[in-house]
Chains A and B, each alone.
Chain A
Amino acid sequence: MSGQAPLVNIRNLVKHFGPVAAVDDVSLQVGEGEFLTFLGSSGSGKTTTLFIVAGFEDPTGGDVEIDGRSVLSVKPNERNIGMVFQRYTLFPHMTVAQNVGFPLMVRRRPKAEIDKAVKDMLDLVQLGAYAGRKPSELSGGQQQRVALARALVYKPRILLMDEPLAALDKRLREDIQQEIRRIHRELGVTILYVTHDQEEALRMSDRIAVFSHGKIAQIGSGADLYERPADAFVAGFIGNSNFLQGSVVQSQQDQVAVRLDDGTVIRGNTRHPIATNARVRLMIRPERLTLTPSNDQHDQSLDVTLSDTTYLGDMLQHEVVTAWQQRITVRTNDHAAAASGNALKLHFASTDVMVFEDSSRATA
Chain B
Amino acid sequence: MSAPTPIDVDLAAVSPEDAARARWYGLFAGLFRAPPSRQWLAGVAASTGEGDASGDAPLARAWRDFAGACAQADPQAVREEFDVAFVGVGKADVIPYASYHLSGFLNDRPLVDLREHLASLGLARRAGIGETEDHISALCETMAWLVAGNAPPARDIAVQREFFSGFLAPWFESLADTIEHSGVTDFYKHAGRLLREFLAIERQAFDFDSP
Question: Real complex partners, A and B?
Answer: no
Chain B residues within 8 Å of A, Cβ to Cβ: none
